[in-house]
Amino acid sequence: MNPIRTSLLATLVLAGCPVVDAPAKDSDSGLGYHETGLVEDTADTADSTIEDTSDTGDSADTADTGEDTAVEEGLRALDAWPRAMVVNVGATYALRVAATQNSGDRDLYTGAGFAADDAAVATVDAGGVVTAVGIGTTTIRVTAEGLEADLTIEVREASEAEVTVTNETTGAPIEGASVLTSAGTVLTDAAGQARAPVLDGAPTTFTVWLDDAYYAVSVLDTVSRKLTIPLPVTADQSPTSQLHGAVDFSGIADAALGEEVFGLASGTVQGELPLFEVDDLLGPNRTLDYHGVAVDVPSNLFVEGYLADYYAGVWPGAVGVWGLGGPVPISELAAGLNGTGDAMALIIDHLADFSWSQSGGYTAVSGATTEAPIAPSVAFSDTAHIALPTLSVGFEGTEEQFVCTFDETADGWVLTGLGLDAGVVDVQRVPVGSVSAARGSAVYTLAQVGGLGSGGGVSVATAPDDGGTVLFPDLQDIPVVNLWDHSSRELDVTVDAAATLVRVSFIDTDGLHHQLVTDGSWTGIVDKQNPSFGRGKADVLVESYTVFEGNFEEWVSTGDWNPEHRSPTTVARDTLEH
């Protein structure tokens, strides 16, 4: 977390400005979204459905219009994973099947049939569990309503696995990396490849490391015997470019006596929306001369009369910028700059008086600054009707959720509205159509244990916004590290049952990192990949993702489990400081 500096708070107090607390809000919530698309009230009430009771005069019930808009039932597409596997005799793994309805809805599918062309090579049961029984190659056929998805399986004798080690950033092969299994250790050649010893077809852990330039990575309990393992670099991964621009205050309401015009600017979210972190809304420090006193404030904040420009870190490539600003009482400004949650609450409390702007078409270059001025002038005069999800396991139960509306453009996701609330809410946003060349809209919600900015674990969900009531998938439970013994390296981690991709990262006393990749809760002994690992205490970061497309064995085989490439719908993370 990047706490907002208290130096400005202290300066305003010394200047005689009173500090007041933000008003408390109702946190009653009880809504959950299910894979079936049905919405239930999961709070302890007698109701079992949710209705939009706002008086709009509109109805989504096509029966009332007399028009027949029904879509013929049935499937139009079928997919299954893993698409291609190389395994040893005795291996078993489960298939994952998804279907697209004629209506366009896409979901996991449980009604498929399964068959193997050559039962002497592999068998598959009615539940989609494949078992490798003999040497050879065959096709697994997945069928449903006349559609078919074909998967391949190659079965080999148990002796070794083909492992390719690459640089996660560049994709280049890594020579000299150590590949460890329970049967021994080998080194990769100039092509980044190694034949790692294995004992049988049972799930095996592969641990790879080179030196301090890369994180060590352990792929836990995979039956794949042809896999690619990318090593993340340990170099600073902060944005390498920045936007800078002058702020045109003419479209922002004037400050009254005892107020300041305050705001922030930020680059578009350039990656997957569920991976957006609220702390990224605030930049590194710069100095503000406030009434003759030098104080530190985030570089992307601006204050009329004191800071008339902004700097915002971004990644190289296509990028846009959005900004918002408005008058706030000086006393509340002081309180609002005491933490991430307080800063967002300050903006949200006065959003009706704020103005907004957006522009795009910029190309950020690594190590360079791109000029992108902003001129906020659009009011937050519209609302999005949102049914926020129920707080999951691990929360205190009173936390409000930080919710943002976004429009997608060719330059990334543009923030268009925000709120801090719970339950079924109307979130203030700029009018639909304010974002030029928008491709679609989505809503992001984040719940943090202890409240926004507390430093506690977080759970994030996103959902499309088609103009009706926005319904979210369930928030994931907060990950739990039940046990981490740094001397024995025993680890016991519990994540939400909906998680399909899990990363566990260790930061030990020497600053070295080790990352584990798996598909759910895990208990076991962590491989010791370097002499210092396990000697001292280590913080443990657990990140769990719900990913619809693909499955763990698919990602291990292809070597691409980077969440930025997997379009997660929900994310949960927490850190055990040990």
The domain locations on the chain are 7-23+238-371+378-471, 75-156
pLDDT in tens, the chain (578 residues): 333 333 443 344 334 343 333 333 333 333 233 333 323 333 333 333 333 333 444 433 444 444 445 567 889 999 999 999 999 999 999 999 999 999 888 899 999 999 999 999 999 999 999 999 999 999 999 999 999 999 999 999 988 999 999 999 899 999 999 999 999 999 999 999 999 999 999 999 999 999 888 889 999 999 999 999 999 988 766 788 999 999 999 999 999 999 999 999 999 999 999 999 988 888 888 888 877 888 888 899 999 999 999 999 999 999 999 999 999 999 888 765 666 777 888 999 999 999 999 999 999 999 999 999 999 999 999 999 999 999 999 999 999 999 999 999 999 999 999 999 999 999 999 999 999 889 999 999 999 999 988 889 999 999 999 888 999 999 999 999 999 888 888 999 999 999 999 999 987 766 668 899 999 999 999 987 665 555 567 789 999 999 999 999 999 999 999 998 888 999 999 998 76
344: left (phi over 0), alpha (psi -120 to 50) or beta: alpha
Cα Rg, the chain, nearest whole Å: 26
Check residue 569 and give its pLDDT.
92
Check residue 294 and give its pLDDT.
83
Q: What is the CATH number of domain 75-156?
A: 2.60.40.1080
Q: Answer yes or no: are the C-beta atoms of 185 and 223 closer than 8 Å.
A: no
Distance CA 428, CA 494 (A): 37
**Residue 249 phi, psi dihedral angles, 5° rounding:** -90, 0
Helices (H), 168-221: none
Place of tokens 């340990």: 234
pTM: 0.84
Beta strands in 307-364 (DSSP E): 309-314, 317-329, 355-364
CA distances in angstroms from 573 to 2, 192, 347, 502, 538, listed in the order given: 16, 32, 26, 10, 17
Give, for 85, the enclosing helix (H) or strand (E): strand 84-88
Q: Answer yes or no: are the C-beta atoms of 344 and 278 closer than 8 Å.
A: yes
CA distances in angstroms from 328 to 322, 376, 437, listed in the order given: 19, 16, 32
Distance CA 475, CA 478 (A): 9
The gap between the terminal CA atoms of the chain, to the nearest Å, is 17
**Shortest CA distance to 501 belongs to which of 565, 458, 409?**
565
Beta strands in 7-128 (DSSP E): 31-33, 39-41, 75-81, 84-88, 92-94, 96-101, 106-108, 113-116, 122-124
